[in-house]
Amino acid sequence: MSWTDGHLTRVDLSPTSDPVERDERAPAWLTDELAAYFADGGHRPRVPVCLKGTPFQHRAWDLLMTIPAGRTVTYGTLAVELGSSARAVGAACRANPCPLVIPCHRVVGARGLGGFAGDRGGRLLGIKRWLLRHEGVALT
């Protein structure tokens, strides 16, 4: 995780990180919210974020924030709302620097899970499955 001036700037889901583990350097406002989410999949982490991205990415990320825990929305549905394409929505999700807080894991393909953070079948897609199950989404 990275933060600056009281704002979360990045959540790293790389193979060497553990999003559940508390970082002793991290401020309590951040670790408390993430711990609350991992204790209860229905909890919406409420932390201030400072995100760098294009205007379209910001519009997409704002829309992602409206998807409630336990629900999924397709890339295509979001594309219609944004006046864009499903691929553009996928690219915005892939560029999301704060997964978990900006819930791109709730976006799925029309015929399946889709990807997660650019991963279509590896460790990160496993994290997406876990997050959705944690929030009560029944996966087939």
What positions carry a catalytic annotation?
104
**Cα separation, 116 vs 98, whole angstroms:** 12
How far does the chain reach from its first CA to its final CA, in angstroms?
Answer: 31
Backbone φ, ψ for residue 113 (5° rounding): -70, -30
Q: Which helix (H) or strand (E) holds 26?
A: none
Reading the block at residue 129, the tokens are 């499955």
Positive or negative, the Cα torsion across 94, 100, 104, 108?
Answer: positive
DSSP state of 104: G
